[in-house]
Amino acid sequence: MLKEFREFTLKSNVIDLAVGIIIGAAFGAIVTSIVDNIFMPLVGMMTGGVDFKTLSVKVGSAELKYGMFIQATVTFLIIAFFLFLVVKAVNKIRLKTQIPLPISNTDKLLIQINEELIAIRTELKDNPGVNHSTDT
Question: Is 0.85 surpassed by the pTM of this model?
Answer: no
Q: Are 52 and 44 in contact (CB under 8 A)?
A: yes
Q: Find the CATH number of the domain harbouring 58.
A: 1.10.1200.120
Tens digits of residue pLDDT in 9-61: 777 677 788 888 998 888 888 888 888 888 888 888 888 888 888 889 999 99
Would you say residue 41 lies in a domain? yes
Range of 50's domain? 2-99
Round to whole Å and give the CA distance between 122 and 114: 12
Which of these, 75, 65, 62, lies nearest to 33 by C-alpha position?
75
Tens digits of residue pLDDT in 65-124: 999 998 888 888 888 888 899 889 988 888 887 777 788 888 888 999 999 999 999 988
